[in-house]
Chains A and B, each alone.
Chain A
Amino acid sequence: MSALLEIKQLHAGIPDKPILNGLSLSINPGEVHAIMGPNGSGKSTLSYVLSGKSGYEINGGSMLFDGQELAEMTPEARAIAGLFLAFQYPLEIPGVTNMTFLKTSLNAIRRGRGEDEMDAASFLRLARAKSKALGMDDDMLRRQLNVGFSGGEKKRNEILQMAMLEPKLAILDETDSGLDIDALKTVAEGVNALRSPERGMLVITHYQRLLDFIKPDVVHVMAKGQIVKSGGPELALELEKSGYAEYSGGTEAPAGGREAHA
């Protein structure tokens, strides 16, 4: 089986500051991987480098998505190829309604794939159904994109976009932070609904409780820009108990907010 995402010895960072130091990771279709790791270990950087945010330099290694080298693609081409990033900090676009944004995005991706744009009626039906499934009312669709949204609403909105775009690989960057327990369940249901044998997910989180709802196949520990340990779901439980002390030399706070040198 060929991997959906194959990262090999990736070195990347901002000018004069290496952040990812020879990171390797492989995700097969149908798998859900979780990445945990201390603050500043490079988790968001990995998500940005994969999705093509400007400002980062790639200094070595490769990242193949569906056999294509991501580094050679524009950010929009990566999105069109089926890579989706749910942002840790979703952006606001004043004056653009959620609905308009979703429609522009969906149609840009369809056009990019050589498909016809979706007609207005079908789009409306789809958007309503998906937002309802995520417990969002129609009012949210009419509001300006993320403007005045609460932290949790913004995160939920990211999942709505993911549900609309049905990507091949979804990277969720701390989608659980800021969610109350009910929202966490709904969001997890949204994510689980997308699980399929063709799709892959990379879930970045600090908390084991998300993984109670979204069962990962593989859990990775990231520290100082590398994957330092990988294992099954039990690894997340271990981390919850003992923190990252053994990986980061005790300088970082552990998950769950406990002291490293308890």
Chain B
Amino acid sequence: MSEAKAIIESEAKASIDKDTVEQVAQFGGEHYKYGFTTDVDMDRVENGLSEDIIRFISAKKDEPQWLLDWRLDAYERWLTMEEPEWAHVDYPKIDYQDLCYYAAPKSMEDGPKSLDEVDPELLKTYEKLGIPLIEQEMLAGVRKVAVDAVFDSVSVGTTFRDELAKEGVIFCSFSEAVKEHPDLVQKYLGSVVPKSDNYFTALNSAVFSDGSFVYIPPGVRCPMELSTYFRINEANTGQFERTLVIADKGSYVSYLEGCTAPMRDENQLHAAVVELVALEDAEIKYSTVQNWYPGDADGKGGIYNFVTKRGDCREDRARISWTQVETGSAVTWKYPSCILRGDGSSGEFYSIAISNNLQQVDSGTKMIHLGKNTSSKIISKGISAGRSSNCYRGQVSVHPKAADARNFTQCDSLLIGDKCAAHTVPYIEAKNLSAVLEHEATTSKISDDQLFFCQQRGLDAEEAVALIVNGFCRDVLQNLPMEFAVEAQKLVGISLEGSVG
């Protein structure tokens, strides 16, 4: 087998001027403004994972037999698999028997018919998070955003459903989709990310609780942004959500997900699966602002974020674009990918990954070129501060039949202080000689002179860092839907608070 494979590993440790090092201060958890907990009566199953627990979850959701069988099959496979160790992350062994796999507010038991019937405590939670769960009259010029709110294991409610339904757009919780659109779910579930793709997808497939479902009919341009907000609230629970987005021929949708969790001293597991399917001439833009609790300055607590996201450009000229702003989590393991199956299809990955204190990030993408004339673009911006570790891991592979494939990769790292690390691990695999693949990488640091220049113009050190980092991330921030770009810019500043004195 002829295979051209290049593995380049470059490690960079900052050699920043002495004074900045002295200025590097630690940032305490108090900067995380989403760290509150909501006090509601919860219905939670006993800790542990077994066939019985899976049957329990499936029964709770009134699922059809085929889905229960699907879950049990995934569980069988998971039992034979090993937790992956290749990522550049280090965390204590997770005891999967010591986790709770289903927790839902009791008030959701009776299945409130509309948002008006939802427990006000829950609605308040989202209000505090700044997420509108009321179909407010929007100001002129501001586009509407439909929201699905997932609280621990269940969806609390979805806004603008009726308005979307008029266009034939389906936007609902995964559980509802199983009931109301079983054919679509059965057809596409696991068709992009097979159950046993990896350890965490097998686990997710066995125990997933809720998530969002989107279907855009042929030729429809979804009239508003769709978004899902995931909130982990309960202690000692895992969140295993499942998102499935299908864009039928010639349709378009822009989708955003946001994530937050309370500050807790113990680590919590989040293992999600997201599948995107774009048919002929369809386009999906998927944006993520991931702000799970990162743990405190000493690395105590925080979310383990082990996520598999993959999009399938299943037919000709389909387009999928991933944009992610990753600021949270103690450990992130995540590679939103594109399978470029259709001829002329294209995939994009725009990423900002920030690590501070003791956070660890191993993230990147895979672009798998299968069809002819496929193109992909990767823009990755990694920012490391504190004692964190930030690794870009990317794969571009071109199948023998993928004539005239093109890829452009730009991978930039920015270091703040001299105790953090940045790694770049690109895998490039071209089995068709017509492929044109470009890779550019840079590593830089914020200089004392730049900081002083900003301070001389009236900015304090933190404002200066936020400004410089936002400039560094500009190419990616520009890709976010306008509604979220401003939010993301602020988040970039907040997550680096305390990185200089």
Q: Which residues of A contact B (CB under 8 A)?
A: 51-55, 74-76, 78-80, 84-85, 87, 90-91, 93-96, 100-101, 104-106, 108-109, 112, 144-145, 161, 165
Q: Is B496 an interface residue (CB 8 A)?
A: no
Residues of A within 8 A of B463 (CB): 104, 108
Residue of A nearest to B452 (CB): A53
Smallest CB-CB A-B distances: 9 pairs: A95-B471, A96-B471, A95-B474, A105-B457, A109-B458, A108-B458, A75-B455, A91-B453, A79-B458
Given A76-B459, A79-B456, A108-B459, the answer on whether A144 and B471 have CB atoms closer than 8 Å is yes
B448 to chain A, nearest CB (A): 7
* Given A54-B448, A90-B453, A93-B450, 6 extra CB contacts under 8 A: A55-B19, A104-B467, A105-B458, A108-B463, A109-B458, A144-B471
A25 to chain B, nearest CB (A): 20
Residues of B within 8 A of A108 (CB): 457-460, 463
Residues of B within 8 A of A96 (CB): 467-468, 470-471, 474
**Would you call B452 and A94 a contact (CB within 8 A)?**
no
Residue of A nearest to B450 (CB): A91
Contact of B460 among A76, A87, A95, A165 (CB under 8 A): A76
Residues of A within 8 A of B458 (CB): 76, 79-80, 105-106, 108-109, 112, 165
A-B contact count (CB 8 A): 81
**Would you call A76 and B455 a contact (CB within 8 A)?**
yes
**Would you call A95 and B470 a contact (CB within 8 A)?**
yes
A123 to chain B, nearest CB (A): 15
A70 to chain B, nearest CB (A): 13
Q: Is B449 an interface residue (CB 8 A)?
A: yes
A53 to chain B, nearest CB (A): 5
Render B471-501 as a binary contact track against A, CB cut-off 8 A, 1 for contact. 1111100000000000000000000000000
Given A74-B455, A79-B455, A109-B458, the answer on whether A55 and B448 have CB atoms closer than 8 Å is yes
B interface residues, how many (CB within 8 angstroms):
25
B342 to chain A, nearest CB (A): 34
Q: Which residues of B contact A (CB under 8 A)?
A: 17, 19, 23, 447-450, 452-460, 463, 467-468, 470-475
A96 to B457, CA, bound (A): 14
A213 to chain B, nearest CB (A): 25
Residues of B within 8 A of A100 (CB): 467
Residues of A within 8 A of B457 (CB): 79, 101, 104-105, 108-109, 161, 165
Residues of B within 8 A of A52 (CB): 452, 455-456
A165 to B450, CA, bound (A): 19
**Would you call A51 and B460 a contact (CB within 8 A)?**
no
Residue of A nearest to B447 (CB): A91
Contact of B467 among A78, A84, A101, A165 (CB under 8 A): A101
Residue of B nearest to A86 (CB): B456
A231 to chain B, nearest CB (A): 30
List 14 A-B residue pairs with CB atoms under 8 Å apart, sorted by A's residue number: A54-B23, A54-B452, A75-B452, A75-B455, A76-B456, A80-B458, A91-B453, A94-B471, A95-B475, A96-B474, A101-B457, A108-B459, A108-B460, A165-B458
A96 to B19, CA, bound (A): 24
**Would you call A85 and B456 a contact (CB within 8 A)?**
yes
Residue of B nearest to A106 (CB): B458
**Would you call A74 and B471 a contact (CB within 8 A)?**
no
- Report which residue of B448, B452, B468, B473 has the largest number of chain A beta carbons within 10 angstroms of its beta carbon: B452
Residue of B nearest to A111 (CB): B458
Residue of B nearest to A102 (CB): B457
- Report which residue of B448, B449, B453, B457 has the largest number of chain A beta carbons within 10 angstroms of its beta carbon: B457
Residues of A within 8 A of B456 (CB): 51-52, 75-76, 78-79, 84-85, 87
B452 to chain A, nearest CB (A): 5
A34 to B475, CA, bound (A): 43
Given A94-B471, A96-B468, the answer on whether A74 and B460 have CB atoms closer than 8 Å is yes
A45 to B460, CA, bound (A): 22
A75 to B460, CA, bound (A): 8
Residues of A within 8 A of B449 (CB): 91
Residues of B within 8 A of A78 (CB): 456
Residue of A nearest to B381 (CB): A95
Residue of A nearest to B17 (CB): A55
A173 to chain B, nearest CB (A): 11
Residue of A nearest to B474 (CB): A95
A237 to B467, CA, bound (A): 44
Residues of A within 8 A of B460 (CB): 74, 76, 108
A93 to B468, CA, bound (A): 7
Residue of B nearest to A92 (CB): B450
Residue of A nearest to B469 (CB): A95
Residues of A within 8 A of B467 (CB): 93, 96, 100-101, 104
Residues of A within 8 A of B471 (CB): 93-96, 144-145
Residues of A within 8 A of B448 (CB): 54-55
A76 to B457, CA, bound (A): 7
A96 to B458, CA, bound (A): 16
- Report which residue of B17, B458, B460 has the largest number of chain A beta carbons within 10 angstroms of its beta carbon: B458
A52 to B457, CA, bound (A): 12
Residue of B nearest to A89 (CB): B449
B14 to chain A, nearest CB (A): 17
